[in-house]
A = this chain, B = another copy of it.
Amino acid sequence: MAGKTVSLKVLAAHLGLTVSTVSRALNDYADISPVTRDRVRKAADELGYSANQNARRLSIGTPETVCYLMPRQIGANVQPFVAQLLAGLGEALNDRNWDLLVSQAETSVGDMTSIERLVRSGRVAGIVISRPLKNDPRIKLLQQLGCPFVVHGRTANSVDYAWYDVDGEDAFVTAINHLERLGHRRIGFIGAPLQYQFAQERLDGYTRGVAHNGLSQDPDLVQIAEFTDDGGTAAAGVLMDLPNPPTAIVCVSDMMALGALEALHARSLTPGEDVSVIGYDGLYFGKHANPPLTTLAQPQAHAGRRLGDILLSIIDGADPIKFQELQRAHLVQRMTDGPANVDAGQEDVSVREEPQ
């Protein structure tokens, strides 16, 4: 049971049949008698036969494999969502016994050449890409190659391909509305470089929410920084050192929000009391932040599964533009949102509600 790999040929010899008969028996062809079919099945089990996939896929003409293109690290950042996404993707593929390949390139031109090779060499039948740029060249390439794909996120012009995204703009409108109800009139925004579409969307949401509620549109309230916790710290520092600092800050990511909290601590301001902070991502760790971070959570577990299903549908011939799914983020209230404190910037801890 250990030794040599058992091919269709040796299995056939073992049974006194030909390879074609054995193959058809294993693949449930109608012209094989039930008794030989069962006999073949049994022998295959005993000998531990499993069809060579390279041969099989060469023959049937599809690699039965899709590829997830891992996003490069942005900054020194980890990507905690990758594991969950892969789990969901794998689940969708497992139902068909397809394989999941992961690929990553150092550079963005590396991405381009590696996509082209993956497709041209017949290794993958479809590709999932994450976190596209505003105008992402990979999408045009995939379209030119005629390779089925689905995007986790969107680009600026997202009409002619399949994507699954969380509505960042809507989420930020929600956040602004929430803060407005808490009495905030000057709300700061900490953003990421606008080459990423998600960064633009969330800024759009902020802008719309602020305008819609008639809040301050002071351009100084918008701070773009490096997409890391340190970036968040720096941006929050700028905001709080403004002559007229905001009473609340929304951040494009939890990581940046965590950084922002540090800036508040450094100024002896209490998040959620002196200044409200809302992050984005719903990272589990935010629960243990100081204080626990209020955030806009996305249903990550679901994303992988859906991306897989969508991609398989497209490979099966469905029209890509039928798959443009927008999920809503939902507000997870923890401890960093609270009523506006108009004295922010001055120490005023008398309004704390928590006992002890």
On chain B, the residues within 8 Å of A121 by CB distance are 50-53
Contact surface of A with B, Cβ cutoff 8 Å: 1-3, 5-6, 48-55, 57-58, 63, 70, 73, 78-80, 82-84, 86-87, 90, 99-104, 116-117, 120-123, 144-146, 229, 258-259, 261-262, 268, 283-285, 287-291, 356
What separation, in Å, do the CA atoms of A285 and B145 have in the docked complex?
Answer: 40
Smallest Cβ-Cβ distance to A6: which chain B residue: B120
* The residue from B51, B79, B100, B120 contacting A5, defined by CB atoms under 8 A apart: B120
Report B-chain residues with C-beta under 8 Å of the C-beta of A58: 52, 54-55, 58
A5-B120, A58-B58 known; A86 and B70 CB under 8 Å? Answer: yes
In the complex this chain forms, how many copies of it are found? 2
Given contacts A50-B116, A50-B120, A102-B102, 19 further A-B contacts (CB under 8 A): A1-B144, A6-B120, A48-B120, A50-B117, A51-B121, A52-B121, A70-B87, A82-B82, A82-B83, A90-B103, A100-B103, A101-B101, A261-B288, A285-B285, A285-B288, A288-B289, A289-B289, A289-B290, A290-B291
Are A54 and B51 interface neighbours, CB within 8 A? no
Complex Cα–Cα for A356 and B267 (A): 11
Determine whether the beta carbon of A104 is less than 8 Å from that of B87. yes
Q: Contact check, A83 vs B78: say whether CB atoms are below 8 A apart.
A: yes
Q: Nearest chain-B residue to A71 (Cβ)?
A: B83
Bound complex: CA A103 to CA B268 (Å) = 48
Q: How far is the CA of A100 from the CA of B105 in the complex (A)?
A: 13
Q: Are A83 and B90 in contact (CB under 8 A)?
A: no
A101 to B104, CA, bound (A): 12
18 A-B pairs in the complex with CB atoms less than 8 angstroms apart: A2-B146, A50-B116, A51-B121, A52-B121, A52-B122, A53-B121, A53-B122, A54-B55, A55-B122, A90-B102, A99-B103, A100-B102, A100-B103, A101-B101, A229-B288, A258-B288, A261-B288, A289-B290
Q: Are A123 and B99 in contact (CB under 8 A)?
A: yes
Instruction: Select from chain B the residue with minimum beta-carbon distance to A105.
Output: B94
Q: Contact check, A145 vs B2: say whether CB atoms are below 8 A apart.
A: yes
